Structure 1
Amino acid sequence: MTTDRDRILGLAGEIDDLGRRLAAVGAELRAIRTTQEAPAPPPVMATPPMPPPPMYWPPQQPPQPPHQQWHQPPPVPPQPVYRPVPRPTLVETLGKQGAGSKIVAWVGGAVTLLGIVLLLVLAVQRGWLGPLPRVLSGGAFGLALIGTGMWLHRRPVGRTGAFALVGTGIATLYLDAVAATALYDFLPSLAGLALGLLVTVGGILVAVRWDSALLATAVVLGCAVCAPMITGGFSAELVLFLLVVQAATAPVQLRREWTALTLSSAFPPIIASVVSTALLGSPGSWANTGAALGVALLGVALALIVLRRKENDPGALALLATSAAPALIAALLLPKTGAVLVAGGISLVLLGIWATRRWWPGYVGDLAGLAGLIALMQATMTQFDGTARAAVLLGEALVLVFLARWSRNRFAMAASLGFAAVGGLVGIVHDYSPALLVLFGDRTTGVLVGALVVAVLILAAAILLPWTAFRLEVLRAPAANPLPWLLAGVAVLYGAAGAVLCATLLVLPDRTGFLTGHVLITVSWTVAALLLLVRGIDVVALRVTGLVLVGAAVLKLVLFDLAALDGMARVAAFLGAGLALLVAGVRYARVVRES
């Protein structure tokens, strides 16, 4: 007789079996989901029904054998599938609803602004009204445009036209302030600048309130494009007005990442300053130079502000790299002292940013360092002439080499190479030319001392540059990249030969000194080759350099010493080089056997 207890136990066994089957089906579904491209698994055979479990009292689940226990796999989280969002084409953008109205509204604002400028020019040419009525009517018209735009902005359907009207009205007010200051002299320069700043700040605040980068950019570009037409050309006063516009954007750039606003406010002052300097001619004007310095300092400051918020912003990096250009160009037209002060001051500011590069994100430090080194080179070229110019440039290259080695800075390494190349070329052209090595002539002590200094610096730079580059892992070993090492070796030979010859001529200032110097050059090359071969038993680079130096000494003997030297000088050169080579060969063979 079956009791209720037996029915309940049988039902419990069936429920357990059903749970196991559902778990198996769930595992299969999860496997299918995670391996969508895998072949479908074979169908699962139905599990035969298990017999009813025996009755236990008190009721409990009987233990299962290990091979029949079900281990549920852990759930696999679904992986998101990346699908790139296609960018709309130009035709799709123009075909959107409302795009045509925006284009028409902004084009209408630009045409209106140009019409206002043409009206002011025509009024001046034909004598319509007086200067004061012209200014007042221009201001009233600008305020009317702004008021209409503010009224339209209250309704969503009119906001497109509101942006264009407000942008045109603000630009009209700014141009009116420029005209009142530069054309009619109603306001002094400081008052005009203050009024222009007030108008521009008002326009930028409206753009921030409406969250419209396009409106802010339109205000700035409208002022920048039309201001030269009102002032009658490019001048220092125009540059100052454009700097006011740029300064007005600084608070916005602290809060918003509007790259278009950065570019539209930064580059008009740079362009205006360069053009006004080119039109100014020589001699330079301190007013124009002061405006160029303002462009440089303000541009660098705003670039740093933007780059602190948005790392490696392209517009801010371009501004940082080009802000110093107007001041450096203006310095070329100044007297020597002023030019050095301007270029040197800019280099100190930019190199200071480079020195504190760990505090600046991205490429700020290296880019400022590049611009600062260009300014430093200009200051050096302006301040020094004659032998001192090449010597100072090569000395700066050596300082940068030591700085690169100490700080492991590859940028300083590249900068030292640039200074060494420029200084070496200047020295070869003006101080230590190849003619000094091959032709004897009457040269003063000052010329020989200058050539000696340049030759020694070329020798030092040619040795330290590749060694530092190799230690910084910028330059590979000679076997892997022989060309830079070959060029450095030629520079080493050139510098060493000049140093030996000039030192000899300072002691024996006649043809005997010239011949003796060349004998010493040949013998010194062979001795240096011996030292390199002995030290280069286990170092491939030294061994190869020594063999190359042997070849150079032999070529000098055959191509130069045999024809240029005579008498005992020729004999001494050949005997000295020959004996040194013999000693080198014997010693090198012995060291090879012992190693």
Structure 2
Amino acid sequence: MTHPSTPQPGAQQPAADDVPAGQSAAQPGHGQSTADQFTAGQPGQGRPQSTAQQPPYGQSPFAQPPYGQRPYAQPPYTPSPTLRERLSREGAGSRLLAWIGGAVTLLGVVLLLILAIQRGWLGPLPRVAVGAAFGGILVGAGAWLHRKPVARTGAFALVATGVATLYLDTVAATSLYDFLPVPAGLAVGLAIAVGGLLLAVKWDSSLLAIAVVGGCGVCAPLITWGFTGELVTFLLMIQIATVPVQLRRSWWPLSFTAAIPPLTTALIGVGLRTLPLWAVIAAGVVSAAAALVALRRNDNEPYSLSVLAVSPLPVLVAALVRDKPESVLLAGGAAVVLIATWTIVRGNSGTVAGIGGLVAAMQATVTQFDGGAVLLGEAVALAFAAKFARNRFALGGSLAFGVIGGLFALGSDVTPALLVLPHWHPRDLLFTALCSAALLLAAAIALPWAATRLNVVKSDSLAPWLPAGLCALYGAAGLVLAASMLVVPGRAGFLVGHTLVTVSWTVVAFVLLLRGIEVVALRITGLVLVAAAVAKLVLFDLAALDGLARVGAFLGAGVILLVAGARYARVVASR
């Protein structure tokens, strides 16, 4: 006897109208085979009806749960409300008034402390006691109001104002009145900030956490004796207090809010020359570490990525205003730390750290070395690193180092005057020009090679090879000419060098033409190099060279071109 709910073989499936409401007649994955799913959307093809009941979910490893129970079902996308919609909601006016009132109250506390100091009202100890009592009353009133759901907006504003008041009172007691030693004041300030953030976590209010951190960070500089190391330390205590919260909650703007005060204070203090070096380094290191901790939850989070990107800025700015040894040490140390982070940390956070490390390395190199030889060497090393690590950002850094290094080399080492005017040059200058020209040639070859290997550009594309070819020609000419004048000083070396340059161009063009039988880009580059060699013969060698040098250049280039043409024709004909 067959159960009434089991369909018989060959029985007709129920029509679409018989399907209960709320269910689709054909849902992919629910009573529908793979062939059915494929043919369901094909025009002109009928959909075959299933003749056997699908096994219940859980009996087969290939079975799928019902549509409503699938764990990967995504909720429908709801766009975020606009500012006008937020302000038009019920209760928006009361929340806005509460937070504005809290900000005004906090500013009033700061002004009261300043005015009490200026007018001599009360003594230092009563001022601190009154500030602590006022902050405690605000926190207590906020906790009492939080018991009623309708009053929680005011409770958040009161607690944020009270916590900020207590923190500022601690800063004043430590930095202004010396009631607390610095370690004790930092410990008390950290405890107050942690307490406010724990209350925000307990009440599940990211707005309260941001208000606590922002209020403390913005108002602390107003009651200290300038931008000092103690101020930076107090601001870093607030930032450190946010790290446990960032590990438990996805309150991404909190990391950005906590990083702005210490980094801004460090930059201003560097400009005013009022901050010790340890405070500047601490601001950068703590900000970068806090950002990396926050990025462990979400590597694509833009706020923490922004903090990580700007965290080396105070150190690099401090390096600009220091003497040369300290400047190189600061920028080089930042480069080593950031590039080491790049090699250890993967994803967007490692990439951002690596880009910052490359900027720091470039600053250290430009500060320490004159000319562009070292930058060109770093460009070659980065090109090989990009190819073997399959990292396009390293290739971008190689391009930046190569361009800037090439410009420095063109302006100071391998100048156009060196290649055109037959003057006598010192040996140390010629040796520097030789090294710079060789590295320029190497960078011009390594960069397009790495770009082709990484599929950044196509192998038959001329876009990277044309500028690279021009740089390679210039570097090769400088290399041959500097080497010739090192061996034969004066005008004789200049003439011999240009003869060898012309002949070498024709030889390289012949090699490129032979290799370019299968590769269009190499063939076109070879033809362009032939045209460049002929143009140099007619426009420069004919006028600048004389005697045997002129004859040698023309005879050498002509014979090589004749042999190359005959050989190239034979190779093409034999294919």
Superposed CA deviations along residues 351-389 of structure 1, whole A, max 9, x for unmatched, are 1121123xx3x31121111111111112222222x35xx
Distance of aligned partners of 1:560 and 1:136 in 2 relative to their CA distance in 1, 3 Å threshold:
same
Distance 1:211 1:34 in 2: 40
Which residue of 164, 173, 176 maps to 1:180? 173
Aligned twin of 1:334? 322
Distance of aligned partners of 1:321 and 1:549 in 2 relative to their CA distance in 1, 3 Å threshold:
same
Which residue of 266, 271, 274 maps to 2:259? 266
The yes-or-no answer on 1:376 pairing with 2:356 is no
Distance of aligned partners of 1:90 and 1:499 in 2 relative to their CA distance in 1, 3 Å threshold:
closer
Aligned twin of 2:248? 255
Aligned twin of 2:332? 344
Distance of aligned partners of 1:341 and 1:101 in 2 relative to their CA distance in 1, 3 Å threshold:
same
Q: CA deviation at 1:426?
A: 1.3
The yes-or-no answer on 1:105 pairing with 2:98 is yes
5 Å-filtered alignment, 1:485-504, equals 485-504=465-484
Distance 2:459 2:535 in 1: 25
Which residue of 120, 136, 140 maps to 2:133? 140
Aligned twin of 2:438? 456
Q: TM-score, normalised to structure 1's length?
A: 0.84
Q: Where do 5+ consecutive residues of structure 2 fail to align?
A: 27-48, 55-63
Please tell me whether the aligned partners of residues 16 and 25 of structure 2 are also in contact (alpha carbons under 8 angstroms): no
Distance 2:119 2:20 in 1: 87
1:297 maps to a residue whose letter is V
Of 142-151 and 443-452, the range deviating more from structure 2? 142-151
Superposed CA deviations along residues 228-275 of structure 1, whole A, max 9, x for unmatched, are 111154333322211111011111111111112111101211111111
Which residue of 224, 227, 238 maps to 2:220? 227
Superposed CA deviations along residues 46-92 of structure 1, whole A, max 9, x for unmatched, are xxxxxxxxxxxxxxxxxxxxxxxx98576897799985435434333
Which residue of 272, 297, 304 maps to 1:309? 297
Distance 2:76 2:188 in 1: 52
Distance 1:201 1:407 in 2: 42
Superposed CA deviations along residues 119-158 of structure 1, whole A, max 9, x for unmatched, are 1111122111122211111111111111111222223233
The yes-or-no answer on 1:366 pairing with 2:351 is yes
Distance of aligned partners of 1:539 and 1:99 in 2 relative to their CA distance in 1, 3 Å threshold:
closer
Of 585-594 and 102-111, the range deviating more from structure 2? 585-594
Please tell me whether the aligned partners of residues 243 and 294 of structure 2 are also in contact (alpha carbons under 8 angstroms): no
Distance 1:302 1:141 in 2: 32
Distance 2:562 2:115 in 1: 93
5 Å-filtered alignment, 1:323-472, equals 323-357=311-345, 360=346, 362-384=347-369, 386-387=370-371, 390-472=372-454
The yes-or-no answer on 1:130 pairing with 2:130 is no
2:240 maps to a residue whose letter is A
Distance 2:396 2:171 in 1: 46
Distance 1:350 1:78 in 2: 48
Of 518-527 and 183-192, the range deviating more from structure 2? 183-192
The yes-or-no answer on 1:474 pairing with 2:456 is yes
Q: CA deviation at 1:23?
A: 6.4
Aligned twin of 2:556? 576
Which residue of 200, 206, 211 maps to 1:207? 200
Aligned twin of 1:194? 187
Please tell me whether the aligned partners of residues 289 and 331 of structure 1 are also in contact (alpha carbons under 8 angstroms): no
Please tell me whether the aligned partners of residues 462 and 489 of structure 1 are also in contact (alpha carbons under 8 angstroms): yes
Distance of aligned partners of 1:589 and 1:198 in 2 relative to their CA distance in 1, 3 Å threshold:
same
Q: CA deviation at 1:506?
A: 0.5
Aligned twin of 1:298? 286
Distance of aligned partners of 1:89 and 1:469 in 2 relative to their CA distance in 1, 3 Å threshold:
closer
Distance of aligned partners of 1:414 and 1:114 in 2 relative to their CA distance in 1, 3 Å threshold:
same
Q: CA deviation at 1:403?
A: 1.4
SS at match of 1:475: coil
Of 268-277 and 234-243, the range deviating more from structure 2? 234-243
Distance of aligned partners of 1:107 and 1:462 in 2 relative to their CA distance in 1, 3 Å threshold:
same
Q: CA deviation at 1:293?
A: 0.9
Please tell me whether the aligned partners of residues 146 and 170 of structure 1 are also in contact (alpha carbons under 8 angstroms): yes
Superposed CA deviations along residues 168-227 of structure 1, whole A, max 9, x for unmatched, are 111011111111222223333323222211211111111111111111111111111111
Q: CA deviation at 1:452?
A: 0.3
1:333 maps to a residue whose letter is V
SS at match of 1:341: helix
Q: Where do 5+ consecutive residues of structure 1 fail to align?
A: 1-11, 37-69
1:442 maps to a residue whose letter is W
Of 131-140 and 449-458, the range deviating more from structure 2? 131-140
Aligned twin of 1:512? 492
Matched residue count? 535
Q: CA deviation at 1:525?
A: 0.7
1:501 maps to a residue whose letter is L
Distance 2:331 2:537 in 1: 48
Distance 2:406 2:435 in 1: 12
Please tell me whether the aligned partners of residues 173 and 180 of structure 2 are also in contact (alpha carbons under 8 angstroms): yes
SS at match of 1:483: coil
Please tell me whether the aligned partners of residues 512 and 522 of structure 2 are also in contact (alpha carbons under 8 angstroms): yes
Of 189-198 and 212-221, the range deviating more from structure 2? 189-198
Q: TM-score, normalised to structure 2's length?
A: 0.87
Which residue of 150, 156, 161 maps to 2:149? 156
Distance 1:432 1:81 in 2: 62
Distance 1:570 1:197 in 2: 80
Q: Percent identity?
A: 56
Distance 2:476 2:122 in 1: 80
Q: CA deviation at 1:590?
A: 1.8
2:312 maps to a residue whose letter is A
1:395 maps to a residue whose letter is G
Please tell me whether the aligned partners of residues 288 and 330 of structure 1 are also in contact (alpha carbons under 8 angstroms): no
Please tell me whether the aligned partners of residues 27 and 72 of structure 1 are also in contact (alpha carbons under 8 angstroms): no
Q: CA RMSD in A?
A: 2.7
Please tell me whether the aligned partners of residues 296 and 324 of structure 1 are also in contact (alpha carbons under 8 angstroms): yes
Distance 1:95 1:542 in 2: 66
Distance of aligned partners of 1:28 and 1:184 in 2 relative to their CA distance in 1, 3 Å threshold:
closer
Superposed CA deviations along residues 383-422 of structure 1, whole A, max 9, x for unmatched, are 22x35xx222122112112212222222222211111112
Q: CA deviation at 1:472?
A: 1.3
Please tell me whether the aligned partners of residues 466 and 525 of structure 2 are also in contact (alpha carbons under 8 angstroms): no
Distance 1:120 1:83 in 2: 52
Please tell me whether the aligned partners of residues 27 and 73 of structure 1 are also in contact (alpha carbons under 8 angstroms): no
Q: CA deviation at 1:542?
A: 2.4
Distance of aligned partners of 1:91 and 1:392 in 2 relative to their CA distance in 1, 3 Å threshold:
closer
2:192 maps to a residue whose letter is V
Distance of aligned partners of 1:150 and 1:457 in 2 relative to their CA distance in 1, 3 Å threshold:
same
Please tell me whether the aligned partners of residues 342 and 354 of structure 2 are also in contact (alpha carbons under 8 angstroms): yes
1:372 maps to a residue whose letter is G
Superposed CA deviations along residues 484-507 of structure 1, whole A, max 9, x for unmatched, are 210000011001000100010001
Q: CA deviation at 1:335?
A: 2.3
The yes-or-no answer on 1:246 pairing with 2:247 is no
SS at match of 2:336: helix
Whichever of the two has the greater Rg, that structure is: 1
Distance 2:180 2:302 in 1: 38
Please tell me whether the aligned partners of residues 527 and 580 of structure 1 are also in contact (alpha carbons under 8 angstroms): yes
Please tell me whether the aligned partners of residues 365 and 375 of structure 2 are also in contact (alpha carbons under 8 angstroms): yes
SS at match of 1:482: coil
